[in-house]
Amino acid sequence: MVSVVVRILVGSPWDTERMKTLSLPTGTHGRVLVREAVGPSVVLVGFHGYMENADIQMERLAGIPGSERWTLVSVQGLHRFYLGRSETVVASWMTRQDRSEMIVDNLGYYDRVVETVVPPATRIVTAGFSQGVAMAFRGGVRGRLKASGIIGVGGDVPPELLADGASEFPAVLLTRGQGDTWYSDAKMAGDVDSLRLRHVPVDTLTYAGAHEWTPDVAAAASAFIGDFEGQWTR
């Protein structure tokens, strides 16, 4: 269910003392792209960045060496809009408005996706870019079916997960571009320190580029998953 905010005005529209805000759950549909593999060793679930869509993230996932062995799932944010004045539909995961409700909605969406597309006894790796990194972590850590690995590209670990002593993280790959002013070197270093304090295995990559997903990211993701893939399939 998705939360919808409704404001009710009584009398003058400026009579804020008599106005109340309701947050109401409502049903909606999410767009999910799936490229199935026969007997996949891994299901790789991807989350795009702000003002992107599932097609963009699916192209990134498919570009990871070795991905032909995996079922690829690209999840599109529930909040769709047009890109400028074009007919291209893009999406966002959330805004700061009603943030707590949006987190709950997105986590429920993740659970529905995983329950629908992941075969029994198959490992999950989540991978997010930019705004989608938070989804990769929240789903992988808080979802009903946990991830065996999380890949974050150009985005930070959600602070509420780090603040919660009960959060259990799998192995993590964190990456950023050298010229990325959004996910800075200091931010990534802070995330790495916080995770390693919890004894979480963390790999890192700083690559030539800015706020983008590059071939270096694809290669690192392939190596990260490959390191565990043999263990998972035994």
Taking alpha carbons only, the member of 53, 37, 228 closest to residue 129 is 53
Q: Can you tell me the mean pLDDT for 204-218? A: 98
Q: Does pLDDT of 204 surpass 90? A: yes
Look at residue 1 in the predicted model and tell me its pLDDT: 64
Q: What is the CA radius of gyration of the chain?
A: 19
Q: Give the tens place of pLDDT for each residue, 11-38.
A: 556 666 778 888 888 888 999 999 999 9
Average pLDDT over the chain reads 92
Look at residue 108 in the predicted model and tell me its pLDDT: 96
Q: Give the tens place of pLDDT for each residue, 184-196.
A: 999 999 999 999 9
Tell me the pLDDT band of 106, cut-offs 50, 70 and 90. Answer: very high
Taking alpha carbons only, the member of 1, 44, 42, 45 closest to residue 24 is 1
Look at residue 12 in the predicted model and tell me its pLDDT: 56
Look at residue 27 in the predicted model and tell me its pLDDT: 84
Q: Give the tens place of pLDDT for each residue, 52-101.
A: 999 999 999 999 999 999 999 999 999 998 999 999 999 999 999 889 99
Look at residue 14 in the predicted model and tell me its pLDDT: 60
Give this prediction's pTM: 0.91
Determine the CATH number of domain 31-232: 3.40.50.1820
Q: Does pLDDT of 176 surpass 70? A: yes
Every domain of the chain and the residues it spans:
1-28, 31-232
Q: Does pLDDT of 4 surpass 80? A: no
